Amino acid sequence: AAKEAGKNQVVEFSPGMREFRLHYAQLAAGLQVALAGDALTVLYQPIVDLACGRPVALEALLRWRGADGRFVPPGQFIPVAEDIGVVSAIGDQVLRDACAQAARWFDRHQVAVSVNVSGRQLVLPDFADTVLGHLVTAGLPPQALILEITETVLVGPTGPAKDIAYDGLAALRRHGVRIAVDDFGTGYSSLSYLHRLPIDILKIDQTFTGALDSTEEREAALVGAILALGTSLAVPTIAEGVETPRQAALLRAMNCPMAQGYHFARPGTTSEITDYLAGTAPRRAPSVPS
Ligand code: C2E
Ligand code: MG
Ligand code: MG
Ligand code: MG
């Protein structure tokens, strides 16, 4: 029986690998083309003040319209972009576009923009200068920019690359740029490092927000624990992936200051967000496919 199972595994594994490699090669080739052309666009998703529901920031979320016109999700192509060494170029494009767009929104509505940064970008020695350059070009005050960095990247192994990254972040923070830990709670379980991190905001991962609906009290209690942690470190929190009125109400009752999710607004195009900010769109819009 064991032998049979082994055979089956091999039979199932090979086509899978071939498919994966094909898919990967297509993505890699397509990305090079996308970078040169205009297939990469940025959508923006509101982050709201939970107490009043008003937008305080917009997260820039990258989209790639593939040759067939459909969106390839960033979770699929960002890892490939990192692999083939184009993620910095892509990330720089996102930062430049987001700063330029945010300057218009900031003037009218005093909202910040929040941009995801890859670990590969962060370790470039000129990263901080590049960011400051984009701010100056766009005329966006540093206080209106948030950089989102995942927990794993912030905490990862120490070494020269990490020193460069931390020096860069420190320089940016001195100018007033804020640093948010993205997907907080999914990376490292040890909390001992937290107070040493150069951070200004914690983004509670959507798995914890989703757990608020769990009938398991202990699971639902995790959000409360993270909120308490944020309070004791004096670091404000954003709950990600809020999808239901009940989740929003629970978070509000726990004094979570900010939230983001389909319940408030889906990621939208520049013009949809412009309408949303002007208050001309209904509260739940934009509704572009995410
Ligand atoms: P993230 O930074 O944690 O972004 C939040 C993700 O959750 C986004 O997925 C967003 O569309 C999705 N989301 C928002 N509200 C809800 C909700 O209520 N329910 C659910 N189920 N999902 C919700 P998206 O846009 O597919 O992005 C996935 C990840 O790709 C991001 O996770 C981020 O890590 C990465 N990413 C996106 N844009 C960029 C970029 O410009 N540069 C880099 N390096 N990474 C990016
Ligand atoms: Mg993010
Ligand atoms: Mg996140
Ligand atoms: Mg995520």
Mean pLDDT in consecutive groups of 10 residues from the start of the chain, 290 residues = 46 63 84 88 97 96 89 92 94 97 96 96 96 98 97 86 93 98 80 81 95 83 92 95 96 97 97 91 49
- Cα 61 to averaged position of ligand 1 atoms, centre (Å): 6
User: Residue 194: what pLDDT?
Assistant: 79
Phi, psi of 48 (to 5 degrees): -115, 155
Residue owning the nearest CA to atom 17 of ligand 1: 241
Kindly state the DSSP code that residue 198 receives in the 8-state scheme. Answer: -
**Residues in the chain, overall count:** 290
Q: Residue 238 contacts by C-beta under 8 Å, 6 or more apart in sequence?
A: 47, 180, 201, 202, 203, 204, 257, 258, 259, 260
Structure ipTM over 0.90, yes or no: yes
Cβ-contact 102, 58 below 8 angstroms: yes
Q: Which of 157, 223, 224 is nearest to 188 (CA)?
A: 157
Identify residues whose C-beta is under 5 A from ligand 4, the ion. Answer: 183
- Cα 184 to averaged position of ligand 3 atoms, centre (Å): 7
In this structure, what token pair is assigned to residue 199? 């951070």
Secondary structure percentages of the chain, helix, strand, coil, to 5: 55, 20, 30
Q: Is the CB of 91 within 6 Å of ligand 1?
A: yes
Ligand 1: residue of 87, 116, 121, 238 to mutate (most ligand atoms within 8 A of CB) is: 116
User: Residue 216: what pLDDT?
Assistant: 78
User: Residue 122: what pLDDT?
Assistant: 95
User: Residue 24: what pLDDT?
Assistant: 85
Phi, psi of 63 (to 5 degrees): -130, 140
What radius of gyration, in Å, describes the C-alpha atoms of the chain?
20
Ligand 1: residue of 45, 48, 61, 208 to mutate (most ligand atoms within 8 A of CB) is: 61
Q: Which of 168, 116, 173 is nearest to 143 (CA)?
A: 173
State how far the Cα of 77 lies from the Cα of 61, in Å rounded to an integer. 13
